[in-house]
């Protein structure tokens, strides 16, 4: 069959791309080897949030007396928590099925492989298109010293569907995946240790945010080992032993399970890139500003390209790609204004430059910070951990960066993203009336602190 556009992969990059293509009048098909929605809907963004919500509710029950409530008998059902998460994922995947039908997109089930001449082979059947968009995503990365066996050394997929809750867990890596699962399992009652190679947890975040998360996690009973590396594992016994190299020497940790959360690996093998002649560098498909590869008619978006490996980035890239194909006037994506969110507790959200990055650029900056301990809404909610930190250019008032850690901050960061997109100045944010009492007031107060006008601190 012949299409205008075929999308290879149905994650948040692929299915969003297909829908936008159909809206623009393209005859569109999507190829998927497993479940519609890809990793994000089935094994990532969505089901993990369901697990984290269960953990949060369980935390509320444990601390009910802090709110003047008495809950005498409560417990967790680990199987039921996992089942709820899977049901949420299944529901979202069915939602994508509905969207495919609604937008008249053909779903081709099977393993797709690119061929020359703008064709895709799907399990022996050939399809052609004027344009092919690669959106095959990524998977859990494996380290040579930490091979995953799916039982004692696991990745994020297995971490979401364990049959039994482990008593002890070692989490290797403290990026978003690592700290989210560390929070979940710790809340459920597992003894959790995080091992991080770099000096700070969540190392891509502003250093103040990293230090705050470490304090909050330690208060919750999570053990943290930074500047440490797992050099080997022994799975021969009942559990697993990890040899960890630290500044003080080697240490052997014992646990039931090790979760390897050391990043992701692009899914670019065995999809026909070599057959077509598409250029790859350092595990990424090289593309221009509008996602064209070096071979005309072949495009790539999402985790297989050099941009940030985030669901919302993949979606934005796919929309830009097909709008450009439709002849619309579109601007290249600003990768300096992409929000990052981590859904542990406290949550983390950030956009733009960290304080260190701004200083390293030699910029003259104003920095403001407002703790949630001074927020009326946070105090009333019992969620006083964390703060909002803002960074402005001292001369022009440009909003260079915003970094948040606290309850619900992943829903607050969009204000900073929009403000930066519209080239808002610090003065304009300061004079924008924020509602009281809300957590979002902390943004205004942090800006006020940067300009020495803070009221409630």
Q: Which residues are catalytic?
A: 436
Quote the CA–CA distance of 416 and 38 in Å, as a whole number.
29
Is 14 marked as binding a ligand? Answer: no
Quote the CA–CA distance of 175 and 341 in Å, as a whole number.
11
Is 180 marked as binding a ligand? Answer: yes
* CA dihedral (101, 106, 111, 112) positive or negative: negative
Is 121 marked as binding a ligand? Answer: no
Q: 255: number of CA atoms within 13 Å, CB side?
A: 27
Is 178 marked as binding a ligand? Answer: yes
Quote the CA–CA distance of 249 and 358 in Å, as a whole number.
35
Is 173 marked as binding a ligand? Answer: yes
Distance separating the N- and C-terminal Cα atoms of the chain:
66
* CA dihedral (182, 162, 187, 409) positive or negative: positive
Is 49 marked as binding a ligand? Answer: yes
Is 109 marked as binding a ligand? Answer: no
Q: How many residues does the chain have?
A: 457
DSSP H helix total and E strand total for the chain:
14, 24
Of 362, 372, 443, whose CA–CA distance to 395 is shortest? Answer: 362
Is 179 marked as binding a ligand? Answer: yes
Is 113 marked as binding a ligand? Answer: no
Is 364 marked as binding a ligand? Answer: no
Quote the CA–CA distance of 342 and 329 in Å, as a whole number.
33
- Paired with 405 in beta bridges are 348, 387
In degrees, rounded to 5, the angle at the alpha carbon of residue 159 between the alpha carbons of residues 156 and 164 is 170
Is 401 marked as binding a ligand? Answer: no
Contact 299/293 with Cβ under 8 angstroms?
yes
Instruction: List CB contacts of 296: < 8 A, sequence separation 6 or more.
Output: none
DSSP string, 353-375: --HHHHHHTT--EEEEEEEGGG-
Is 175 marked as binding a ligand? Answer: yes
Known binding positions: 49, 112, 173-180, 196, 263, 303
Provide the annotated binding site for FAD.
49, 112, 303
Task: Detail the residues annotated as belonging to a binding site for NAD(+).
Answer: 173-180, 196, 263
């Amino acid at each position: 069959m012949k299409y205008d556009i075929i999308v290879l992969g149905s994650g948040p990059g692929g299915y969003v791309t297909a829908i936008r293509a159909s809206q623009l009048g393209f005859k569109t098909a999507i190829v998927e080897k497993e479940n519609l929605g890809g990793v994000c809907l089935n094994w990532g963004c969505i089901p993990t949030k369901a697990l984290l919500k269960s953990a949060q509710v369980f935390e509320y029950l444990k601390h009910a007396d802090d709110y003047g409530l008495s809950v005498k008998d409560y417990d967790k059902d680990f199987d039921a928590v996992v089942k709820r998460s899977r049901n949420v994922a299944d529901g979202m995947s069915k939602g994508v099925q509905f969207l495919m039908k609604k937008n008249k997109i053909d779903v081709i089930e099977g393993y797709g492989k690119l061929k020359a001449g703008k064709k895709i082979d799907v399990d022996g059947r050939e399809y052609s298109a004027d344009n092919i968009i690669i959106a095959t995503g990524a998977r859990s990365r494996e380290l040579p010293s930490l091979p995953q066996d799916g039982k004692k050394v696991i990745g994020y997929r297995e971490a979401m569907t364990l049959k039994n809750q482990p008593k002890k867990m070692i989490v290797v890596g403290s990026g978003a995946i690592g700290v989210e699962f560390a929070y979940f399992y710790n809340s459920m009652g597992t003894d959790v240790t995080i091992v991080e190679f770099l000096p700070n947890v969540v190392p891509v975040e502003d250093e103040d945010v990293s230090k705050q998360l470490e304090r909050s996690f330690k208060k919750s009973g999570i053990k943290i080992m930074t500047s440490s590396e797992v050099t080997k594992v022994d799975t021969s016994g009942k559990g697993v032993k990890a040899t960890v190299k630290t500044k003080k020497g080697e240490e052997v940790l014992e646990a039931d399970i090790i979760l390897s959360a050391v990043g992701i690996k692009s899914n670019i093998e065995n999809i026909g890139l070599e057959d077509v002649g598409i250029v790859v560098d350092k595990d990424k498909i090289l593309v221009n500003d509008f996602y064209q590869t070096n071979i005309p008619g072949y495009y790539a978006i999402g985790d297989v390209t050099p941009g940030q490996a985030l669901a919302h980035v993949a979606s934005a890239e796919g929309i830009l790609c097909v709008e450009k194909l439709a002849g619309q006037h579109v601007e290249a994506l600003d990768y300096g204004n992409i929000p990052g969110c981590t859904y542990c507790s406290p949550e983390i959200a950030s956009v733009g430059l960290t304080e260190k990055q701004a200083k390293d650029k030699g910029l003259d900056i104003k920095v403001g910070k407002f703790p949630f301990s001074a927020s009326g809404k946070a105090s009333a909610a019992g969620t006083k951990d964390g703060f909002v930190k803002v960074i402005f250019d001292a001369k022009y008032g440009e909003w260079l960066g915003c970094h948040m850690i606290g309850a619900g901050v992943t829903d607050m960061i969009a204000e900073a993203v929009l403000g930066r997109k519209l080239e808002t100045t610090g003065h304009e944010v300061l004079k924008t009336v924020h509602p009281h009492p809300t957590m979002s007031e902390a943004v205004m107060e942090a800006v006020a602190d940067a300009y020495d006008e803070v009221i409630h601190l």
